[in-house]
Every structure is written in C-alpha cells, then in structure tokens.
C-alpha cells in the first residue's frame, strides 16, 4: 500500500494503526516533509515501513511507486485554513495538481485508490440545519476547502470517465496525538503547558464536529475494504461542540479558570458550523466510533502532549510567530 502524507497528523496515525493491526500489509509512505510533516511521527514503526521523501506532484516518481502497490490511500495535502488565507498557491499545487498526478498513475496501473477529504467542501450550516450527507451540494468557503473540493471533483471524474477504482471520504475535525501545533486543540494545550493563555477566534461560537483520529482511520479501512467504487462516505462521530466549550474543557484539564483565555482576531470568512450525518457509513459498513466520549479522548490527547514535548517543541515558536505575523491581535 502507498500512503501519501504519512508523516502528517492523520497519515502517521493511519500508518501506525495499520502496522499494529494488519501485519500482512506492507506500507510505503510518500511524503514531501513540508513544515507540517514530521519523520518522528513514524519513529514507532520506522523499521516496519518504507519511507520515500518526495512530492505527490512528481509524475515520474508517483507513477513508479504506484506501479508496485495494490492500493493508494491519499492523505497528503496542505491542510490549514489560516495558511490558505495567507498564501493560497501551495494549496492549488498540492491539493489539485498533486491529486491529478496520483489519479493519472492509479488510472494507468489500475490500482485501487482511496481519497481522504473533508466536510469543509460542503461549506457551513446554520444552527438548525441537519448535518451534511453524501448528497449535500458542494459550497466551499476558503482556498483550502475550495482546493479540496476541486480534488474531490477530479476523483469523481476519473472514476466515471476512466473507470478508476476509487472511493472518497469526507471527515469532520480530527483530534488526537501527532497533530501540528498550528491546529486549534494542540495550539491551546501547548500554550497552557507554556503558561500562555488559549487564543479563541472571535466570540468562539463556531461549531466543529470532533472525531478522534483513530476512529477516522478505522473508517478509512472499512471503506477501503468494503466501500463501493465511486461512492463517497461521510465520517463523523456526533461530536458537535462550539469552540468556547472546547477551550473551557482544555482549561479544566489544566485546573485553570473557565475565563482564563483571550479572544483574538476572527478568521476571515470563518465557517460557522460543521456537522456530519454518518448514517451511510454506520448502516452500510457497520462502523461506529470507539471514542464516543470527547472528554475522555481530550484527556488522552492532553496527556500525550504533556508526555511528548520533544515531538512538538521544535515547531511551537515558528507557529506562534506566523500567527503574530498574520496580524493576530487580542480583542
Ligand atoms: P497535515 O498537514 O498534518 O499533514 C499533511 C502531510 O502531507 C504532511 O506530512 C506533509 O509533509 C505532506 N505533504 C504536503 N504536501 C505534500 C506534497 N506535495 N507531496 C507529498 N507530501 C506532502 O494534515 P492532516 O491533518 O493529517 O490531514 C490529512 C488529510 O486529511 C488531508 O487531505 C486533509 O484535507 C484531510 N482531513 C483533515 C482533517 C483534520 O481535521 N485534520 C479532517 C478531514 C480531512
Ligand atoms: O487558535 C485558534 N483559535 C480558534 O478559535 C485556532 C488555530 C483555531 N480556532 C478556531 C477556528 C475553527 O473554528 O477553532 C476551530 C478549529 O480550527 P482549526 O483547527 O484551524 O480547524 P478547521 O479550520 O475547522 O479545519 C480542520 O478541520 C477540517 C482541519 O484543519 C482541516 O484540515 C480539516 O479539513
């Protein structure tokens, strides 16, 4: 199996889960080791996998790697909304051109392909609307979500026009170990470890539908093994919480007062609410989340960041400098 983006957050957890639970699967990781990639996230399985340092948009490299595998699971992406607002070009290049490169290779070699995508392609919801389903119309808001939407459309077209054996999944917000400190939950946990107050965009009323990364990755395996070709599956664990509540749960884990955070500049075009209806995945493939309790999963995640400072420390100062350079200010 070729796993792209295997040195990133979800990809590294996928590779670790795969090595632990499926000893018959041989994994090759292809990762460009951008600012978001970290070889150390694969240290626990380094002896059990092959690692290739390279770009998914490199057509010859990708063609060569794909020719030797039975399946491709495509996680590699530029993944952070705030970065896509500051500089959109890498998102177009990696998310769209990179996906094109993989699709051409799986088409040529008739290799099974699974495409990992996001619920953000559907835009956002008002408080009363039902959750996204597989038939919700695409309506992306940010350069990040627009390029993910574009990549999904390429997959659909290559499936219909060229018979590529592809499945797609669109998942909600993930949390868990090995997530980059630019993202909401690890940023606040590592701020608190450093004695810095959490940073909440605007009033914090935006809602995200949280899922533990291991539950996401078990769903990816279910789809890979039993999903229907051409089908999209939404992945979510009924984990809707507003950002203010999440910050206050993190503060509680550090025995700090619930008001001990700062409101900072809001994100332009900030999506208000995401929510997933995962009925198809649950009913057709029998998937259900193991981390039904967000508070327990969050406690594990806080413990992981406390225990693994060596992993995140090298990225922390640069990340905070980038937020300051982008103009983030306390309100
Ligand atoms: P991440 O930013 O942590 O990791 C991305 C990885 O891709 C990094 O290791 C990076 O080095 C690699 N990469 C980037 N550009 C590359 C290129 N051109 N060639 C090869 N490798 C490259 O991202 P993540 O949070 O693990 O997200 C993984 C996938 O899951 C993405 O496709 C993302 O859109 C999707 N997703 C993420 C979430 C979430 O909450 N994080 C939710 C739903 C879907
Ligand atoms: O410091 C912060 N303060 C804050 O209030 C940060 C970094 C974020 N936020 C808010 C913005 C969002 O409403 O928290 C929420 C979550 O922010 P992110 O972690 O940046 O995630 P989001 O923009 O929702 O996108 C994530 O989920 C979908 C991933 O980064 C995407 O890759 C995935 O597709």
Q: Are residues 224 and 245 in the same domain?
A: no
Distance of CA 58 to the CA centre of its chain: 22
Q: Please give the distance, rounded to the nearest whole angstrom, from the Cα atom of residue 315 to the centre of ligand 2.
A: 17
- Confidence label for 156 from pLDDT (cuts 50, 70 and 90): very high
- Confidence label for 19 from pLDDT (cuts 50, 70 and 90): very high
CA atoms within 13 A on the CB side of 153: 14
Q: Are residues 96 and 126 in the same domain?
A: yes
Q: Is 188 inside any structural domain?
A: yes
The rounded distance, in Å, linking the Cα atoms of 200 and 287 is 33
Residue pair 293/301 in contact by the 8 Å Cβ criterion: no
Using DSSP bridges, classify how beta strands 28-31 and 50-53 pair: parallel, antiparallel or unpaired: parallel
Q: Are residues 123 and 143 in the same domain?
A: yes
Q: Is 330 inside any structural domain?
A: no
pLDDT tens for 208-267 read: 999 999 999 999 999 999 999 999 999 999 999 999 999 999 999 999 999 999 999 999
Judged by DSSP in three states, 310 sits in helix
CATH classification of the domain holding 257:
3.90.25.10
Q: Are residues 69 and 54 in the same domain?
A: yes
* Site residues for ligand 1, CB cut-off 6 Å: 4-5, 7-11, 30-34, 36-37, 55-57, 75-79, 94, 98, 116-118, 148, 171, 173-174, 180
Residue pair 154/106 in contact by the 8 Å Cβ criterion: no
Q: Are residues 190 and 225 in the same domain?
A: no
Of the listed 31, 120, 124, 320, which one is catalytic? Answer: 120
Of the listed 122, 144, 233, 305, which one is catalytic? Answer: 144
The rounded distance, in Å, linking the Cα atoms of 189 and 101 is 37
The rounded distance, in Å, linking the Cα atoms of 274 and 251 is 23
Q: Please give the distance, rounded to the nearest whole angstrom, from the Cα atom of residue 310 to the centre of ligand 2.
A: 23
Q: Are residues 16 and 147 in the same domain?
A: yes
Ligand 2, atom nearest to 201 Cα: 5
The answer for residues whose C-beta is within 8 angstroms of residue 293's C-beta and 6 or more apart is none
Beta strands in 147-224 (DSSP E): 166-171, 174-175, 199-201, 207-209, 211-212
Q: Please give the distance, rounded to the nearest whole angstrom, from the Cα atom of residue 324 to the centre of ligand 1.
A: 23
C-alpha angle 116/118/119, rounded to 5°?
Answer: 145
Q: Are residues 123 and 21 in the same domain?
A: yes
Q: Is 170 inside any structural domain?
A: yes
Q: Is 99 inside any structural domain?
A: yes
β-partners of residue 217 are: none
- Confidence label for 129 from pLDDT (cuts 50, 70 and 90): very high
CATH classification of the domain holding 53:
3.40.50.720
Q: Is 286 inside any structural domain?
A: no
Ligand 2, atom nearest to 270 Cα: 13
Q: Are residues 149 and 9 in the same domain?
A: yes
Q: Are residues 244 and 228 in the same domain?
A: no
Q: Are residues 165 and 53 in the same domain?
A: yes
Q: What is the torsional sign of CA 134, 135, 136, 142?
A: positive
Whether 95 is in the pocket of ligand 2, judged by its Cβ within 6 Å, is no
Whether 201 is in the pocket of ligand 2, judged by its Cβ within 6 Å, is yes
Q: Are residues 86 and 115 in the same domain?
A: yes
Of the listed 55, 78, 119, 271, which one is catalytic? Answer: 119
Return the structure tokens found at 21.
């639970």
Smallest CA separation from ligand 2 atom 14, residue: 184
Q: Residue 205 has what pLDDT? A: 98
- Confidence label for 8 from pLDDT (cuts 50, 70 and 90): very high
β-partners of residue 29 are: 3, 51
**R_g of the chain computed on alpha carbons:** 19
The rounded distance, in Å, linking the Cα atoms of 100 and 92 is 11
Q: How many domains does the chain have?
A: 2
Q: Is 243 inside any structural domain?
A: yes
Whether 218 is in the pocket of ligand 2, judged by its Cβ within 6 Å, is no
Q: How many C-beta atoms surround the C-beta of residue 117 within 10 A? A: 23
Q: Are residues 17 and 94 in the same domain?
A: yes
Residue pair 47/21 in contact by the 8 Å Cβ criterion: no
**Known catalytic membership, residue 119:** yes
Q: Is 231 inside any structural domain?
A: yes
Q: Please give the distance, rounded to the nearest whole angstrom, from the Cα atom of residue 55 to the centre of ligand 2.
A: 25
Q: Is 271 inside any structural domain?
A: yes
Q: Residue 242 has what pLDDT? A: 98
Residue 200's domain comprises: 184-207+239-275+292-317
């Amino acid at each position: 199996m070729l796993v792209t983006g295997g040195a990133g957050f979800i990809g590294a957890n996928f590779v670790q889960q795969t090595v632990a639970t499926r000893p018959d699967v041989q994994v090759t990781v292809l990762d460009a080791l951008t600012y978001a990639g970290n070889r150390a996230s694969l240290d626990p399985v380094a002896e059990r996998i092959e690692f290739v340092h390279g770009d998914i948009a490199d057509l010859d490299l990708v063609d060569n790697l794909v020719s030797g595998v039975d399946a491709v699971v495509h996680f590699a992406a530029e993944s952070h909304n705030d970065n896509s607002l500051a500089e959109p070009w890498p998102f177009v290049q990696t998310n769209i051109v990179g996906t094109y490169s993989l699709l051409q290779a799986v088409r040529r070699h008739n290799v099974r392909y699974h495409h990992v995508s996001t619920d953000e392609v559907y835009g956002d919801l008002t408080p009363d609307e039902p959750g996204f389903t597989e038939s919700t119309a695409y309506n992306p808001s940010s350069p990040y979500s627009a390029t993910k939407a574009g990549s999904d459309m390429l997959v659909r077209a290559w499936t219909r026009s060229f018979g590529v054996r592809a499945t797609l999944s669109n998942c909600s917000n993930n949390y868990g170990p090995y997530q980059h400190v630019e993202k909401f939950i690890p940023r606040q946990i590592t701020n608190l470890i450093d004695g810095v107050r959490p940073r909440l965009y605007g009033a914090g009323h935006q809602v995200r539908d949280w899922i533990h990364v291991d539950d996401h990755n078990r769903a990816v395996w279910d789809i890979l093994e039993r999903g229907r070709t051409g089908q999209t599956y939404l992945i979510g664990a009924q984990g809707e919480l507003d950002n203010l509540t999440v910050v206050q749960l993190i503060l509680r884990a550090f025995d700090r007062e619930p008001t001990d955070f700062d409101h900072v500049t809001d994100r332009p075009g900030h999506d208000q609410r995401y929510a997933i209806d995962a009925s198809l995945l649950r009913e057709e493939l029998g998937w259900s989340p193991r981390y039904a309790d967000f508070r327990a999963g969050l406690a594990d995640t806080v413990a992981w960041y406390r225990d693994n400072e060596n992993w995140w420390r090298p990225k922390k100062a640069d990340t905070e400098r980038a937020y300051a350079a982008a103009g983030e200010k306390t309100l």
